[in-house]
Amino acid sequence: MRNLFILFLVLTLISCGEDKEQGYSISGTIQNVEDGTKIFISEFNDTNTQAVPIDTAIVSEGKFSLDLPKKDQPTISFLNVEGTRGNLIYIADNVPISFEIYPDSIYVSKISGGKDNAVLSSYLKEIRHTNERMTAANNAMRTAYNSQDTVSLKTLQETQQQLANEDKATKSQIVRDNPGSIVSIMIIQDMMNSQAFSASELNALFESLDESVKQSSLAQDLKANLDRMSKTAVGSKAPEFTAPTPTGEQLALKDALGKVTLVDFWASWCRPCRVENPNIVEVYKKYHDQGFNIIQVSLDRPDQKDRWLQAIQDDNLEQWNHVSNLMFWQDPIATEYGVRAIPAAFLLDENGTIVAKDLRGPALGEKVGELLK
């Protein structure tokens, strides 16, 4: 869900002996494309998992327009220009929508029409502003690190944290200011994907939305994800699971628990996971004799068991438990744990209660040592 841009909407369907029914239409201008260029319109399917084509407009003399059917509820829609990469996202809600499109810089295109699109435009503008500031801070940190300027590095780290806090506050405020907009659902979803917010924070924002918004299919999907996230919040009992080991036997989480247990989601194709593996090996060597266990859950693709096994061998991971359904992102364990990006890690106590999440580098060893004491 990134980038937006809409057009003009007003669709009147006239049937014999029937009243007029208003739909919506889009229109706009586009620079530097030939006549006959196609403008593709698509929208999310009923399960909000895939964008499906619904119609096509044709550019003539730098302009285009298209009448589209009435929407029963606001719908996330997408506009794509033939021959360009990237989509403009907009909200279709039975109001005229207009675009000013720049194919060479698609994401700076302009859109107007409808209150939802105004909220979306404001949100995307805020994201771009934050990203620019974060990029500048990261570049400055890289320079300070290379020059071993520890004073500047500490200041820049504080600046980064401040920017992150401001970003969290801004997103939360946009949601609170727009409880009746479907865009608020999109923002909460983005917030959840960022893993910078707790389940309680996100649930509170969701509950602040208007009932009409919470009843939408998009909101129901989000609520299901939030419920799964709540199951794996710190302090919750880790969801139980059973899955095949490399030898084909079934291993249950309860049978792999130690005094402290790391449930680590990874894959042979995941570069950040492979980079973190040596650190996990060191923590295991240091603390296994004191009761530290590991069970790694691989999200490797179907029919690629050989790559999974080779990665275990190459990274010296044979010392602990491994399971995988070889189902890629459709893995039921990952779904149950709300894993949407890897590496993802959950640290459990001896009772299977989640005590920490996504600790990497030195932080993992420090926490394990603290818990074992």
pLDDT in tens, 146-164: 888 888 888 888 988 899 8
pLDDT of residue 19 exceeding 50, the answer is no
Q: Can you tell me the mean pLDDT for 66-70?
A: 91
Confidence of residue 18 (pLDDT cuts 50, 70, 90): very low
Tell me which DSSP letter residue 253 carries: G
Is the same domain home to 269 and 359? Answer: yes
139 CB-near residues (< 8 Å, 6+ apart): none
Task: From 212, 165, 169, select the one nearest 187 (Cα to Cα).
Answer: 169
Q: Can you tell me the mean pLDDT for 90-108?
A: 91
What's the CATH code of the domain at 35? 2.60.40.1120
Range of the structural domain that residue 170 is part of: 117-231
pLDDT at 132: 92
**Domain end call among 51, 85, 113:** 113
Q: Which long-range contacts (CB under 8 A, 24 or more apart) does 222-228 make?
A: 222/185, 222/188, 222/189, 222/192, 225/189, 225/192, 225/338, 226/192, 226/199, 226/202, 228/335, 228/336, 228/337, 228/338
Is the same domain home to 221 and 246? Answer: no
Q: Can you tell me the mean pLDDT for 84-101?
A: 91
pLDDT at 368: 97
pLDDT of residue 249 exceeding 70, the answer is yes
pLDDT of residue 364 exceeding 80, the answer is yes
Residue 61: both structure tokens together: 């003399």
Is the same domain home to 253 and 337? Answer: yes
Residue-averaged pLDDT of the chain: 89
Confidence of residue 22 (pLDDT cuts 50, 70, 90): low
pLDDT of residue 42 exceeding 60, the answer is yes
pLDDT at 20: 35
- Domain count for the chain: 3
pLDDT at 4: 32
**Domain end call among 199, 231, 263:** 231
- Of 322 and 103, the one with more pLDDT: 322
Please tell me the distance from the alpha carbon of residue 97 to that of residue 113, in angstroms, as a whole number: 4
By the 8 A CB rule, do 316 and 296 touch? no
The model carries a pTM of 0.71
pLDDT of residue 7 exceeding 50, the answer is no
Q: Can you tell me the mean pLDDT for 182-211?
A: 92
Strand partners, 344: 265
Look at residue 247 and tell me if it is in a domain.
yes
Look at residue 4 and tell me if it is in a domain.
no
The segment with the largest mean pLDDT, out of 21-25, 139-143, 229-233, 323-327, is 323-327
Confidence of residue 59 (pLDDT cuts 50, 70, 90): very high
Is the same domain home to 214 and 326? Answer: no
